[in-house]
C-alpha cells in the first residue's frame, strides 16, 4: 500500500438500550483526531435493520475504505472484538423503526456465518498492554451489531472488495447506567476511546503489512 489506509469507524446512534450511545460518541471523538497511521472516517449509523444495507453501500462507494471497525454497546465489563457474524436477526428490543424480528435471515440464502476479518487477537493484546480490559467474543448476538458484521462481509464478497471488517463491543458509560437505574458494568468514554484508538492503530499496521 503506497498511501495511508482509509479506516472507517462507525458507531450506532440512540436506541432503546442507549439514549446516548457511547459507540457513536467514541466514533465522533476519534473522528476529531489526526492519525499518522491512517485516514480515519467516523460515521454514525441508525439502529435501523432495514436501512443498514443501503447505508453500507453508500459509505463503501463514498469513502472506499480499506478497513471498517463497527462499534456498539453491550452489557459486558470489557471491550470485546467480535470474531463472527451469523445470518440471523432475532430480537425483541426494537430498532428505531419499532421493528422486532424473530428467526429472520439477514440475507435469504446467504452463508450461515462469516468470520470477521479484523486482527481481533492483536487488538485485544494492544488494549491489554495499555491496561484496558479486553477479550475476544465469539457471539455478537442477533441484533444490529451482528447484522453489521455479517452484512459487511457479505457485501465485500459480493462486490469483490478487499475490506478488513468487523465489530467491537464497548461497555456502557457510567452516566447511562445511572440514568437507567441499573447495577451493571460500565467504562468511561476516555477509556473506551483509548481502546478503539488502539484497535485503529493495530488495523492500520495490519493493512500496511498485508499490502
pLDDT tens profile 73-132:
999 999 999 999 999 999 999 999 999 999 999 999 999 999 999 999 999 999 999 999
Task: Parse the chain into domains and list their residue ranges.
Answer: 6-210
Q: Per CATH, is 6-210 categorized as 3.30.70.260? A: no
Q: Average model confidence (pLDDT) for the chain?
A: 96
pLDDT digits (tens, 9 = 90+) for 37-89: 999 999 999 999 999 999 999 999 999 999 999 999 999 999 999 999 999 99
Q: Which residue has the cell 468487523?
A: 166
SS3 string, the chain, reads: CCCCCEEEEEEECCECCECCCHHHHHHHHHHCCCCCCCEEEEEEECCCCCCHHHHHHHHHHHHCCCEEEEEEEECCCCEEEECEEECCEEECCCCCCCCCEEEECCCCCCCCEEECCCCHHHHHHHHHHCCCCECCECCCCCCHHHHHHHHHHHHHHHHCCCCEEEEEEEECCHHHHHHHCCCCCCCCHHHHHHHHHHHHHHHHHHHHHHC
Per-residue pLDDT band at 7 (split at 50, 70, 90): very high
In the predicted structure, residue 2 carries a pLDDT above the cut 70 = no
Q: How confident is residue 182, by pLDDT bands cut at 50, 70 and 90?
A: confident
Amino acid at each position: 500500500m503506497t498511501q495511508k489506509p482509509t479506516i472507517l469507524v462507525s458507531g450506532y446512534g440512540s436506541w432503546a438500550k442507549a439514549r446516548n450511545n457511547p459507540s457513536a460518541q467514541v466514533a465522533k471523538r476519534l473522528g476529531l483526531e489526526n492519525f499518522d497511521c491512517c485516514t480515519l472516517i467516523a460515521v454514525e449509523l441508525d439502529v435501523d435493520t432495514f436501512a443498514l444495507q443501503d447505508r453500507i453501500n453508500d459509505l463503501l462507494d463514498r469513502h472506499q475504505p480499506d478497513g471498517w471497525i463497527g462499534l456498539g454497546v453491550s452489557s459486558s465489563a470489557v471491550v470485546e472484538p467480535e470474531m463472527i457474524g451469523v445470518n440471523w436477526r432475532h430480537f425483541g428490543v426494537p430498532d428505531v423503526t419499532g421493528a422486532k424480528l424473530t428467526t429472520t435471515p439477514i440475507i435469504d440464502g446467504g452463508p450461515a456465518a462469516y468470520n470477521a476479518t479484523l486482527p481481533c487477537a492483536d487488538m485485544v493484546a494492544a488494549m491489554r498492554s495499555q491496561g484496558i480490559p479486553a477479550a475476544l467474543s465469539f457471539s455478537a448476538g442477533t441484533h444490529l451489531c451482528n447484522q453489521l458484521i455479517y452484512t459487511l462481509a457479505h457485501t465485500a464478497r459480493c462486490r469483490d472488495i478487499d475490506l478488513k471488517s468487523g465489530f467491537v463491543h464497548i461497555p456502557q458509560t457510567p452516566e447511562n447506567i445511572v440514568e437507567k437505574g441499573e447495577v451493571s458494568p460500565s467504562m468511561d468514554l476516555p477509556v473506551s476511546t483509548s481502546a478503539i484508538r488502539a484497535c485503529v492503530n493495530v488495523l492500520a499496521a495490519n493493512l500496511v503489512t498485508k499490502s
